[in-house]
Structure 1
Amino acid sequence: MKPNGVKMNKPFISLCPEITRANALTLMDWLEDEDVTRYLSDSRHVSRFIEQVIGRVQLPILTHLFNQGGRFFMAYDRHDEPVGFVRLVKKGPDCEMVLVIGDRENWGRKLGASAIREGMKLAFLDMRADKLIAKIHPDNARSLKAFLRSGFLLESETPAMHSLAMASERYLRLLRESPAPDTSAIYITEIDKARLKSLIQFEQSSDIFQLEHEIERAVVVDPRQVAEDVVTMNSKALLQVDDEEVEVSLVYPEDADDRAGKLSVYSDIGTAILGYKEGDAFNWRIPHRTCHIRIGKVLYQPEAAGDFHL
C-alpha cells in the first residue's frame, strides 16, 4: 500500500539553467524533427545558432551563450533525462515564454503543463514579471490546451498567432485557489508564514523563489489547529531521501547547523519538506539531480508540544 500523497509516477519537470555541450547536441536532434519545429517560429535560427556554437566554442558548459537576450533552461523529467526546453525573455515588465517538449515519445504525458508551472514560478517569483505571455500557432492544439488549462487567458488572435497571457496577480490567486492536480497540499501556520515572508524580503539568494512559491501555495492554518503530523518550523522529522534515512530539524537560517542535522528552511531539502505531513512523498530537484523525499515521521512539532514561542 502506498503512503499518503505518493504519486511517484506523476508528471514532474525541473528547469535547469546550466546548458552543457551534450545538451546542445540533444537540442540539435530535437530541432531536426519537423513535428517538433512545425510551430516553432525561430527554429531554423535556433538550429543555426546551436550549430555555430558547437562548431566554434570548445567548452563543456555553454550556459552564457544560451542566455544572450533571455534565459534558457533545459527541462528534465524525474529520471533526470532532458525532455525539452523553456526560454524566458523579459521585455520591460512583461515576460515571454517559449516551451518545447523535444522528444516526441514524451508527448501526451502532461510534461508540458508541468514545464509551464515551473516557467511561471521563475517568471513571476524570480524574474518578477507583471505578465507572462505565450505566442502560439492556432493549429498547435496541444500547446494551446496546456496553456489554457494552466490558467492563461486568450489576449489576442490572428490567423497566424494566438497570444495568451497570465498576470502575476492571477498567478498568485490560482496558486492558492486551484492547486495543480498532481501536487500534494502543504500547510503553514500563520506565524511561520509571517516570519518567513519578512525574512524573504531581505534575502538575495537566487533560489529563494522556490521557498516563496511554497509559502504562496500553502494552506494557512492557525498554529493551535495545525495537524500534529505536519512539518512546521522547528519541527524534527525522520526523512527518507532516496535510499537514505535521515533525521533533521527544520530551522530558521540563523539556527542552521548541517552537522547537527539542523537544516535551514533556505536549503534545498529544508524548503522541500516545509508543510508536508507524515507519509507524503514527492520529487524535488537539488543541484545536479532529482531526489525522492518521503516524510517518514514527525518526531517533534512545537505546536503539538505547546511550544508556541518557537
Structure 2
Amino acid sequence: MKYDVIIIEKVEYELLKRIVSMAQYYKDSTYRASIEKLKNELDLAKIVNEEDMPEDVVRFNSKVGIATPFSVNRTYQIVTPDQSNIKENKISILAPMGLALFGYAQGDEVEWEFPTGKNAINIVAVEQVVKKVKI
C-alpha cells in the first residue's frame, strides 16, 4: 500500500459515513461484508483537507483503471449511488468494486471479497474528474 492507510478527503469522509450508515440495512451478505470492511478501514483512514489530497488516490468521481489476475482491464468512475450507471462504467461507492477501491492509490493492490470470492485488483491509473461532492 503506497500510503500505508487509505486517504480520504474530509468532506467525502463525512458523506461516506452517511452512505455507509444508511447501507447497513442491505440484505445482501456480500454488500454487508464489504460495508463492514470499509467501516473498519474508515477507522484507520487518514482524513485530509482538499488541498492535502494526493492526486493519485481514488475518491468520489475518480476514473480508476484496474487490472485483475483474470486479465480484466477496465476503467470505472466511482460515483454516489444515485449516479451509478454500469453502461457508462460509473459504479456506485456501495458496489463491492467501489468499496474496494475507495481511498487507495495508483499502484496499490487491493484484496476484497466479491460475490465471486476473494479477488485482487491492481490500480493501474487514477484520473481525477473535478466535481465537488455535496453532503
Which bin holds the TM-score, normalised by the shorter protein? 0.7 to 0.9
The corresponding residue for 2:14 is 194
- TM-score in terms of structure 1 length: 0.38
* Contact 2:62–2:127 (Cα < 8 Å) also in 1: yes
Q: 2:46 aligns with which of 219, 233, 236?
A: 219
Deviations 1:63-88 (A, max 9, x none): xxxxxxxxxxxxxxxxxxxxxxxxxx
SS of structure 2 residue aligned to 1:201:
helix
Root-mean-square deviation over aligned CA pairs:
2.0
Identity rate, percent? 25
* Contact 1:237–1:247 (Cα < 8 Å) also in 2: yes
CA–CA distance in 2 between the matches of 1:288 and 1:273? 17
* Contact 2:5–2:46 (Cα < 8 Å) also in 1: yes
CA apart distance, 1:291 = 1.2
* Structure 1 residue ranges without an equivalent (≥5): 7-182
Task: Letter of the 1:275 partner, please give it.
Answer: G
CA apart distance, 1:228 = 0.5
SS of structure 2 residue aligned to 1:233:
coil
CA–CA distance in 2 between the matches of 1:190 and 1:264? 19
**Do the aligned partners of residues 309 and 265 (structure 1) sit closer, same or farther apart at CA in structure 2, a change above 3 Å counting?**
closer
SS of structure 1 residue aligned to 2:15:
helix
Task: Letter of the 1:283 partner, please give it.
Answer: E
CA apart distance, 1:197 = 1.1
- TM-score in terms of structure 2 length: 0.82
**Do the aligned partners of residues 309 and 271 (structure 1) sit closer, same or farther apart at CA in structure 2, a change above 3 Å counting?**
closer
CA apart distance, 1:216 = 2.2
2:87 matched to 1:259? yes
> Which 4+ stretches in 1 moved above 3 angstroms?
307-310
The corresponding residue for 1:248 is 76
* Structure 2 residue ranges without an equivalent (≥5): none
CA apart distance, 1:309 = 5.1
Task: Letter of the 1:237 partner, please give it.
Answer: V
The corresponding residue for 1:297 is 125
SS of structure 1 residue aligned to 2:66:
strand
Task: Letter of the 2:9 partner, please give it.
Answer: T
Kindly tell me the number of residue pairs found equivalent between the two proteins.
126
Task: Letter of the 2:81 partner, please give it.
Answer: P
* Contact 2:64–2:127 (Cα < 8 Å) also in 1: yes
